[in-house]
Amino acid sequence: MDPFSQLILAISVTSFLGFQWLFHRASPWVSTHISPGFLVLSDKQKVEWNSRTVSTLHALLVGLFCLYILFFDDAVNKDPAWGDPTLVKINVAITTGYLISDLLLIFYYWKAIGDKFFVLHHLAALYAYYYVLGQGTLPYFANFRLLAEFSTPCVNQRWFLEVLGYPRSSRPNMVNGVAMAGIFFLVRIAVMPVYYGRMCTIYGTEAFYRVPWGGRASWIGSSICLDLMNVMWMHKIARGCYRVLQGGRQSAAPGALQHHQHHPPPQENGKVD
């Protein structure tokens, strides 16, 4: 194994251990000190809280690194199929460690955070990252896909607000809802023309056919499936955002302010009545 491959392996292992430490140690300690509501959550809710905290930190770390590569890594941007994947491999190695860590937590705490969809998502992502880390293929597209992580913090924040008992018509929920819809659209929908435009520029070229068949199938197939789901999710998020804003206007009417003055207690399932 060459020195750089050893470095990538070390980054993946360090990432795995780091995210395990964040879940088991850092998140519970910090949450206890900054959010009194954390103490009254059920054990299942605390598991999901810590999982979402780690997810948010991973999204911000990887997303910012992704932006740096997108704007400043000329080698990858000029040759999206075979450009120098050094920085992309480092970013993907961080994500690989996180995905393996999250899979372990999902299986161990299945009753609290178990989800077949997330297991399939993580396994599919790890399969695709095998070609990036092992063969250095399609670094531009692997990095571009990580832009979607920027929508994760707002999605997690929505859950935090609900489990703490904030009404959907409250100002924090409305602000987060608008931000979630806007960011989700920017990083998952608005970027589609750019992504598929670059895909078309190399489709059928020599560089395209140098990519192993499995890598091509994983790249094209997963891209189409993910973006179909993104469009459906965007539709649901837009409708939800509209309902929250409508509820906010209604709560501003006379008599409604008193009704929403106090937050209801968190429910066992993390939702509010």
pLDDT digits (tens, 9 = 90+) for 190-219: 999 999 999 999 999 999 999 999 999 989
> Could you give the angle at the alpha carbon of 102 between the alpha carbons of 99 and 105, nearest 5°?
155
Q: Which residue stretches of the chain have pLDDT < 70? A: 248-273
- The domain locations on the chain are 3-259
> What's the confidence (pLDDT) of residue 241?
83
> What's the confidence (pLDDT) of residue 260?
41
> What's the confidence (pLDDT) of residue 152?
96
Q: Are 55 and 110 in contact (CB under 8 A)?
A: no
> Would you say the pTM of this structure is higher than 0.85?
yes
Q: Are 119 and 106 in contact (CB under 8 A)?
A: yes
